[in-house]
Protein backbone atom coordinates (compact mmCIF):
# COMPACT_ATOMS: atom_id res chain seq x y z
CA UNK A 1 0.00 0.00 0.00
CA UNK A 2 2.74 2.39 1.02
CA UNK A 3 4.83 1.33 -1.96
CA UNK A 4 1.99 1.94 -4.39
CA UNK A 5 1.42 5.37 -2.92
CA UNK A 6 5.10 6.27 -3.23
CA UNK A 7 5.09 5.12 -6.84
CA UNK A 8 2.12 7.31 -7.69
CA UNK A 9 3.83 10.26 -6.03
CA UNK A 10 6.99 9.79 -8.06
CA UNK A 11 4.89 9.56 -11.21
CA UNK A 12 3.36 12.95 -10.51
CA UNK A 13 6.77 14.52 -9.98
CA UNK A 14 8.03 13.03 -13.23
CA UNK A 15 5.15 14.32 -15.32
CA UNK A 16 5.57 17.78 -13.78
CA UNK A 17 9.24 17.78 -14.80
CA UNK A 18 8.46 17.59 -18.51
CA UNK A 19 7.05 21.06 -18.96
CA UNK A 20 8.29 22.91 -15.91
CA UNK A 21 11.82 24.22 -15.91
CA UNK A 22 11.51 26.35 -12.79
CA UNK A 23 14.11 24.28 -11.01
CA UNK A 24 15.39 21.54 -13.32
CA UNK A 25 18.64 21.42 -11.37
CA UNK A 26 17.15 20.48 -8.03
CA UNK A 27 18.15 16.82 -8.45
CA UNK A 28 21.78 17.76 -9.08
CA UNK A 29 22.04 19.76 -5.92
CA UNK A 30 20.83 16.97 -3.68
CA UNK A 31 23.45 15.03 -1.76
CA UNK A 32 24.71 12.08 -3.78
CA UNK A 33 22.74 8.91 -3.09
CA UNK A 34 24.47 5.57 -2.62
CA UNK A 35 25.22 3.72 -5.90
CA UNK A 36 22.51 1.14 -5.02
CA UNK A 37 19.71 3.58 -4.38
CA UNK A 38 20.82 5.70 -7.34
CA UNK A 39 20.59 2.76 -9.72
CA UNK A 40 17.22 1.74 -8.29
CA UNK A 41 15.90 5.26 -8.63
CA UNK A 42 17.09 5.46 -12.21
CA UNK A 43 15.53 2.14 -13.13
CA UNK A 44 12.24 3.22 -11.63
CA UNK A 45 12.28 6.49 -13.56
CA UNK A 46 13.09 4.74 -16.82
CA UNK A 47 10.16 2.35 -16.26
CA UNK A 48 7.78 5.20 -15.75
CA UNK A 49 9.08 7.13 -18.68
CA UNK A 50 8.63 4.15 -20.98
CA UNK A 51 5.11 3.56 -19.69
CA UNK A 52 4.23 7.20 -20.21
CA UNK A 53 5.67 7.39 -23.70
CA UNK A 54 4.74 3.98 -25.09
CA UNK A 55 1.04 4.05 -24.25
CA UNK A 56 -0.05 6.67 -26.82
CA UNK A 57 2.42 5.40 -29.44
CA UNK A 58 0.95 1.86 -29.36
CA UNK A 59 -2.54 3.26 -29.81
CA UNK A 60 -1.49 5.22 -32.88
CA UNK A 61 0.65 2.35 -34.26
CA UNK A 62 3.53 4.76 -34.91
CA UNK A 63 7.25 4.16 -34.98
CA UNK A 64 9.23 6.09 -32.39
CA UNK A 65 11.82 8.35 -33.97
CA UNK A 66 15.03 7.40 -32.18
CA UNK A 67 17.44 9.32 -34.42
CA UNK A 68 20.02 10.56 -31.90
CA UNK A 69 20.49 14.32 -31.78
CA UNK A 70 24.01 15.74 -32.04
CA UNK A 71 25.65 16.50 -28.73
CA UNK A 72 24.96 20.11 -27.66
CA UNK A 73 28.01 22.40 -27.54
CA UNK A 74 28.22 24.96 -24.72
CA UNK A 75 30.14 28.23 -25.06
CA UNK A 76 30.83 30.49 -22.06
CA UNK A 77 32.32 33.86 -22.91
CA UNK A 78 34.48 35.18 -21.43
CA UNK A 79 36.03 32.76 -18.95
CA UNK A 80 37.78 33.84 -16.76
CA UNK A 81 35.51 36.81 -16.22
CA UNK A 82 36.34 40.05 -14.40
CA UNK A 83 34.14 41.72 -11.81
CA UNK A 84 31.66 43.96 -13.64
CA UNK A 85 31.67 41.93 -16.84
CA UNK A 86 28.74 40.37 -18.66
CA UNK A 87 28.88 36.63 -19.30
CA UNK A 88 27.32 35.28 -22.49
CA UNK A 89 26.20 31.65 -22.69
CA UNK A 90 25.51 30.14 -26.10
CA UNK A 91 24.37 26.53 -26.45
CA UNK A 92 24.37 25.15 -29.99
CA UNK A 93 21.87 22.30 -29.93
CA UNK A 94 20.09 21.48 -33.21
CA UNK A 95 16.76 19.74 -32.58
CA UNK A 96 16.66 20.55 -28.87
CA UNK A 97 13.58 22.05 -27.27
CA UNK A 98 14.61 23.94 -24.12
CA UNK A 99 17.77 24.85 -22.25
CA UNK A 100 18.49 26.50 -18.95
CA UNK A 101 21.41 27.41 -16.77
CA UNK A 102 22.02 27.32 -13.07
CA UNK A 103 24.13 30.00 -11.43
CA UNK A 104 24.49 30.98 -7.76
CA UNK A 105 21.31 29.26 -6.65
CA UNK A 106 19.16 30.57 -9.49
CA UNK A 107 17.89 28.87 -12.62
CA UNK A 108 17.53 30.90 -15.81
CA UNK A 109 15.81 29.78 -19.00
CA UNK A 110 17.89 30.37 -22.12
CA UNK A 111 16.33 32.06 -25.15
CA UNK A 112 15.77 29.69 -28.08
CA UNK A 113 16.80 31.24 -31.39
CA UNK A 114 17.08 28.88 -34.36
CA UNK A 115 19.74 26.28 -33.42
CA UNK A 116 21.08 28.34 -30.50
CA UNK A 117 20.07 28.95 -26.94
CA UNK A 118 21.28 32.26 -25.57
CA UNK A 119 21.54 33.79 -22.13
CA UNK A 120 23.38 36.55 -20.29
CA UNK A 121 24.23 37.16 -16.68
CA UNK A 122 26.19 39.86 -14.89
CA UNK A 123 29.07 39.78 -12.42
CA UNK A 124 28.74 42.46 -9.75
CA UNK A 125 31.65 44.93 -9.41
CA UNK A 126 32.18 43.70 -5.86
CA UNK A 127 31.46 39.98 -6.48
CA UNK A 128 33.71 37.54 -4.62
CA UNK A 129 36.69 36.40 -6.70
CA UNK A 130 37.55 32.75 -7.32
CA UNK A 131 35.90 29.75 -8.98
CA UNK A 132 32.11 29.56 -9.24
CA UNK A 133 30.05 26.65 -10.46
CA UNK A 134 27.79 27.02 -13.51
CA UNK A 135 25.37 24.37 -14.78
CA UNK A 136 23.77 24.07 -18.20
CA UNK A 137 20.97 21.63 -19.08
CA UNK A 138 19.37 20.93 -22.47
CA UNK A 139 16.21 18.95 -23.17
CA UNK A 140 14.76 17.39 -26.30
CA UNK A 141 11.20 17.65 -27.57
CA UNK A 142 9.98 14.64 -25.59
CA UNK A 143 11.38 15.99 -22.35
CA UNK A 144 14.50 13.82 -22.53
CA UNK A 145 17.64 15.38 -21.13
CA UNK A 146 20.26 15.81 -23.86
CA UNK A 147 22.91 17.45 -21.73
CA UNK A 148 23.79 18.28 -18.19
CA UNK A 149 27.09 20.06 -17.91
CA UNK A 150 28.61 21.57 -14.82
CA UNK A 151 31.63 23.74 -15.28
CA UNK A 152 33.62 26.36 -13.40
CA UNK A 153 33.82 30.08 -14.10
CA UNK A 154 36.79 31.90 -12.65
CA UNK A 155 35.98 35.41 -11.38
CA UNK A 156 38.96 37.77 -11.25
CA UNK A 157 39.15 41.17 -9.57
CA UNK A 158 38.34 44.39 -11.40
CA UNK A 159 40.82 47.23 -11.05
CA UNK A 160 38.65 49.84 -9.38
CA UNK A 161 39.70 53.32 -8.36
CA UNK A 162 38.56 54.94 -5.12
CA UNK A 163 36.91 58.35 -5.36
CA UNK A 164 35.85 60.71 -2.60
CA UNK A 165 33.05 62.98 -3.70
CA UNK A 166 32.17 66.26 -2.00
CA UNK A 167 28.45 66.88 -1.70
CA UNK A 168 27.08 69.90 0.10
CA UNK A 169 24.01 72.10 0.21
CA UNK A 170 20.55 70.53 -0.13
CA UNK A 171 22.01 67.47 -1.90
CA UNK A 172 23.77 66.33 1.28
CA UNK A 173 20.48 65.04 2.68
CA UNK A 174 20.27 62.64 -0.31
CA UNK A 175 23.30 60.70 1.00
CA UNK A 176 21.03 59.07 3.59
CA UNK A 177 21.29 55.27 2.95
CA UNK A 178 17.53 54.97 3.45
CA UNK A 179 16.99 57.28 0.46
CA UNK A 180 19.37 55.16 -1.65
CA UNK A 181 17.56 51.97 -0.67
CA UNK A 182 14.16 53.52 -1.42
CA UNK A 183 15.46 54.64 -4.82
CA UNK A 184 16.71 51.14 -5.65
CA UNK A 185 13.47 49.53 -4.49
CA UNK A 186 11.42 51.90 -6.66
CA UNK A 187 13.35 51.04 -9.85
CA UNK A 188 14.00 47.34 -9.14
CA UNK A 189 10.80 45.84 -10.61
CA UNK A 190 11.41 47.63 -13.94
CA UNK A 191 14.92 46.28 -14.53
CA UNK A 192 14.82 42.71 -13.29
CA UNK A 193 12.19 41.00 -15.46
CA UNK A 194 12.87 38.53 -18.24
CA UNK A 195 11.30 39.38 -21.59
CA UNK A 196 11.89 36.24 -23.66
CA UNK A 197 12.85 38.10 -26.84
CA UNK A 198 16.01 39.77 -28.01
CA UNK A 199 14.96 43.25 -29.14
CA UNK A 200 18.33 44.29 -30.54
CA UNK A 201 20.90 43.13 -33.02
CA UNK A 202 24.45 44.42 -32.75
CA UNK A 203 26.59 46.68 -30.61
CA UNK A 204 24.93 49.37 -28.46
CA UNK A 205 25.46 53.07 -29.22
CA UNK A 206 26.75 55.50 -26.59
CA UNK A 207 23.63 57.31 -25.35
CA UNK A 208 25.06 60.82 -25.85
CA UNK A 209 27.71 62.50 -27.99
CA UNK A 210 29.97 63.50 -25.15
CA UNK A 211 33.00 62.59 -23.09
CA UNK A 212 32.92 59.98 -20.35
CA UNK A 213 33.57 61.70 -17.03
CA UNK A 214 33.29 58.77 -14.57
CA UNK A 215 33.77 55.04 -15.06
CA UNK A 216 31.86 52.03 -13.80
CA UNK A 217 33.09 50.27 -10.66
CA UNK A 218 34.68 53.31 -8.99
CA UNK A 219 34.52 52.76 -5.20
CA UNK A 220 32.85 55.83 -3.76
CA UNK A 221 32.92 57.63 -0.46
CA UNK A 222 31.23 60.94 0.25
CA UNK A 223 32.61 63.93 2.15
CA UNK A 224 35.58 61.97 3.48
CA UNK A 225 33.52 59.08 4.87
CA UNK A 226 34.05 55.33 4.29
CA UNK A 227 33.41 53.64 0.92
CA UNK A 228 29.66 53.06 0.80
CA UNK A 229 28.93 52.09 -2.80
CA UNK A 230 30.37 51.56 -6.23
CA UNK A 231 29.52 53.58 -9.32
CA UNK A 232 26.95 51.42 -11.06
CA UNK A 233 27.26 52.98 -14.52
CA UNK A 234 29.27 55.46 -16.57
CA UNK A 235 28.79 59.25 -16.61
CA UNK A 236 28.81 61.44 -19.69
CA UNK A 237 29.40 65.18 -19.32
CA UNK A 238 27.47 67.82 -21.26
CA UNK A 239 25.05 70.69 -21.11
CA UNK A 240 21.54 70.60 -19.74
CA UNK A 241 19.26 69.79 -22.68
CA UNK A 242 21.77 67.60 -24.57
CA UNK A 243 19.97 64.86 -26.52
CA UNK A 244 19.93 61.43 -24.82
CA UNK A 245 19.34 58.54 -27.21
CA UNK A 246 18.33 54.90 -26.81
CA UNK A 247 21.50 52.77 -26.68
CA UNK A 248 19.65 50.10 -28.59
CA UNK A 249 16.13 49.00 -29.49
CA UNK A 250 13.71 47.92 -26.80
CA UNK A 251 10.59 48.79 -24.86
CA UNK A 252 10.44 51.55 -22.24
CA UNK A 253 9.78 49.78 -18.93
CA UNK A 254 9.86 52.81 -16.61
CA UNK A 255 9.88 56.60 -16.80
CA UNK A 256 9.73 58.55 -13.57
CA UNK A 257 11.59 60.30 -10.81
CA UNK A 258 13.42 59.25 -7.66
CA UNK A 259 15.11 61.47 -5.09
CA UNK A 260 18.66 60.15 -5.72
CA UNK A 261 18.52 59.53 -9.46
CA UNK A 262 16.25 62.45 -10.39
CA UNK A 263 14.31 62.00 -13.64
CA UNK A 264 15.03 58.66 -15.27
CA UNK A 265 14.03 56.22 -17.96
CA UNK A 266 14.67 52.46 -18.27
CA UNK A 267 14.59 50.44 -21.51
CA UNK A 268 14.00 46.68 -21.57
CA UNK A 269 16.09 45.20 -24.39
CA UNK A 270 14.90 41.64 -23.71
CA UNK A 271 16.59 38.49 -22.33
CA UNK A 272 17.16 40.25 -19.00
CA UNK A 273 19.18 43.19 -20.42
CA UNK A 274 18.13 46.75 -19.49
CA UNK A 275 19.64 50.23 -19.84
CA UNK A 276 18.89 53.11 -17.43
CA UNK A 277 19.36 56.87 -18.02
CA UNK A 278 19.35 59.29 -15.04
CA UNK A 279 19.59 62.90 -13.76
CA UNK A 280 17.60 63.98 -16.83
CA UNK A 281 16.04 67.41 -17.29
CA UNK A 282 13.29 65.91 -19.46
CA UNK A 283 11.96 62.41 -20.18
CA UNK A 284 10.41 62.19 -23.65
CA UNK A 285 9.03 58.63 -23.78
CA UNK A 286 6.44 56.77 -21.75
CA UNK A 287 6.38 53.17 -20.46
CA UNK A 288 5.31 50.63 -23.06
CA UNK A 289 6.70 52.66 -25.98
CA UNK A 290 8.84 50.73 -28.47
CA UNK A 291 12.05 52.64 -29.18
CA UNK A 292 14.63 52.06 -31.88
CA UNK A 293 18.37 52.39 -31.46
CA UNK A 294 19.32 56.09 -31.58
CA UNK A 295 15.80 57.42 -30.89
CA UNK A 296 15.65 60.59 -28.80
CA UNK A 297 14.33 59.49 -25.41
CA UNK A 298 15.33 62.28 -22.98
CA UNK A 299 17.45 65.37 -22.33
CA UNK A 300 20.46 65.66 -20.07
CA UNK A 301 20.09 67.46 -16.74
CA UNK A 302 21.24 67.60 -13.13
CA UNK A 303 18.18 66.34 -11.25
CA UNK A 304 18.62 64.19 -8.14
CA UNK A 305 22.07 63.75 -6.54
CA UNK A 306 24.24 65.48 -9.17
CA UNK A 307 27.09 67.97 -8.87
CA UNK A 308 26.32 69.32 -12.37
CA UNK A 309 24.62 68.34 -15.65
CA UNK A 310 25.59 64.84 -16.77
CA UNK A 311 24.05 61.56 -17.85
CA UNK A 312 24.42 58.51 -15.61
CA UNK A 313 24.03 55.49 -17.89
CA UNK A 314 23.63 51.93 -16.59
CA UNK A 315 23.44 48.49 -18.12
CA UNK A 316 21.62 45.94 -15.95
CA UNK A 317 21.90 42.23 -16.78
CA UNK A 318 19.67 39.81 -14.86
CA UNK A 319 19.41 42.35 -12.04
CA UNK A 320 23.15 43.09 -11.80
CA UNK A 321 24.61 46.46 -12.85
CA UNK A 322 27.54 45.64 -15.15
CA UNK A 323 30.24 47.65 -16.91
CA UNK A 324 28.52 49.30 -19.91
CA UNK A 325 31.77 49.74 -21.89
CA UNK A 326 31.84 46.25 -23.48
CA UNK A 327 28.27 46.86 -24.69
CA UNK A 328 29.43 49.82 -26.84
CA UNK A 329 32.71 48.28 -28.06
CA UNK A 330 32.52 45.95 -31.04
CA UNK A 331 35.53 43.87 -29.97
CA UNK A 332 34.19 43.17 -26.47
CA UNK A 333 30.47 43.10 -27.27
CA UNK A 334 28.75 39.92 -26.00
CA UNK A 335 27.30 39.12 -29.44
CA UNK A 336 24.98 36.10 -29.20
CA UNK A 337 25.19 35.53 -32.97
CA UNK A 338 28.96 35.64 -33.34
CA UNK A 339 30.82 32.96 -35.29
CA UNK A 340 31.83 30.25 -32.85
CA UNK A 341 34.96 28.13 -32.95
CA UNK A 342 34.05 24.48 -32.22
CA UNK A 343 37.42 24.05 -30.51
CA UNK A 344 36.19 26.38 -27.74
CA UNK A 345 33.00 24.44 -27.10
CA UNK A 346 32.43 22.59 -23.86
CA UNK A 347 31.60 19.09 -25.11
CA UNK A 348 32.51 15.68 -23.74
CA UNK A 349 35.11 15.35 -26.54
CA UNK A 350 36.74 18.69 -25.84
CA UNK A 351 36.63 18.13 -22.07
CA UNK A 352 38.34 14.74 -22.51
CA UNK A 353 41.07 16.41 -24.57
CA UNK A 354 41.62 19.14 -21.99
d(CA 169, CA 218): 23
**DSSP strand E in 93-200: where?**
98-103, 106-109, 111-113, 116-122, 130-139, 145-156, 162-165
> Would you say 312 or 318 has its CB closer to Zn ion?
312
> Cα separations (Å) of 117 from 3, 16, 147, 253, 294?
40, 23, 13, 25, 28
Rule CB under 5 A: say whether 218 interacts with Zn ion.
no
Alpha helices in 76-234 (DSSP H): 177-187
175 φ/ψ sector (left φ>0, alpha ψ -120 to 50, else beta): alpha
By CB under 5 A, the residues from 260 to 319 that bind Zn ion are 312
Rule CB under 5 A: say whether 235 interacts with Zn ion.
yes
Residue whose Cβ sits closest to Zn ion: 312
> Would you say 72 or 301 has its CB closer to Zn ion?
301
Considering only the stretches 130-138, 215-223, 229-237, 290-298, report the one whose residues sit in contact with Zn ion under the rule CB under 5 A: 229-237
Residue 265 Cβ vs Zn ion, minimum distance, rounded to whole Å: 15
> Would you say 164 or 197 has its CB closer to Zn ion?
164
**Dihedral over alpha carbons 178, 260, 296, 290 (to 10 degrees):** 10
> Would you say 135 or 206 has its CB closer to Zn ion?
206
> Would you say 122 or 270 has its CB closer to Zn ion?
122
121 - beta bridge partners? Answer: 87
> Would you say 218 or 268 has its CB closer to Zn ion?
218
Residue 212 Cβ vs Zn ion, minimum distance, rounded to whole Å: 10
d(CA 238, CA 281): 12
Helix (H) or strand (E) holding 311: strand 310-317
| One character per residue 312-331, x = contact with Zn ion (rule: CB under 5 A) | x-------------------
Using CB under 5 A, count the residues that bind Zn ion.
Answer: 2
Residue 323 Cβ vs Zn ion, minimum distance, rounded to whole Å: 13
Which residues sit at the interface with Zn ion, rule CB under 5 A?
A: 235, 312
Amino acid sequence: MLRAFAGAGAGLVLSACGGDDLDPFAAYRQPEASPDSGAAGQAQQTDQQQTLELAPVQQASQVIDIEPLPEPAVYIMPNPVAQGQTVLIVVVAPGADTASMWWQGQTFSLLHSEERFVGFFGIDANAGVGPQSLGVAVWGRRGEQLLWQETVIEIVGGDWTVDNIQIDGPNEALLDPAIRRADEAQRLPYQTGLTPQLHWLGVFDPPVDGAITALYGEQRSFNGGPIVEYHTGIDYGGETGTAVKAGNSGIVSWAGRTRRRGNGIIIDHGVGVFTGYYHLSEVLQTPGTVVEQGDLIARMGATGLATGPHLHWEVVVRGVTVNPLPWIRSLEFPDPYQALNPANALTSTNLARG
